[in-house]
Amino acid sequence: MVLSVSERTFTQEVLESPIPVLVNFEAPWCGLCRIIHPLLLQFQAQCGEEIKLVGVNADQNFKLSNTYRLKSLPTLLLIENGMIRHRLEGFRGREDLRLALEEIRLSYSVSNKSYNSPKAADLECRSA
């Protein structure tokens, strides 16, 4: 299940999160948003508790839509420590998104391994 976040809860749930957060800006009328939803759930299952997935209704949270300069829906932002690490927009469909999510998963895993910490392997997303 995807946690729904609003302008009121965004700072606490996303910007102050101790783990990276994949923010899905979507809208009820957006067909591509509905199509990619199962892929996002699969990504969430693969990454478990290492990356949090949240959804933001762009129509109901106009201030956030403006702050993050949304040009199209869906737009996905990977936010870590309050900063945007990856921005995904303008993808053409499920396969485009799947490849982009895999790239995020792998880059996140690689960056955590670079700390040479014995716990780094625990932070790696699990592959399906």
Q: Which residue is catalytic, options 14, 33, 78, 97? A: 33
Q: What is the DSSP code (8-state) at residue 124?
A: S
89 forms bridges with which residues in the sheet?
75
Number of H helices, E strands in the chain: 5, 5
Residue ranges of E strands in 5-51: 21-26
| Residue 47 annotated among the catalytic residues of the structure | no
Pairing of strands 3-4, 21-26: unpaired
Q: Which residue is catalytic, options 2, 7, 17, 30? A: 30
Residues marked as catalytic: 30, 33
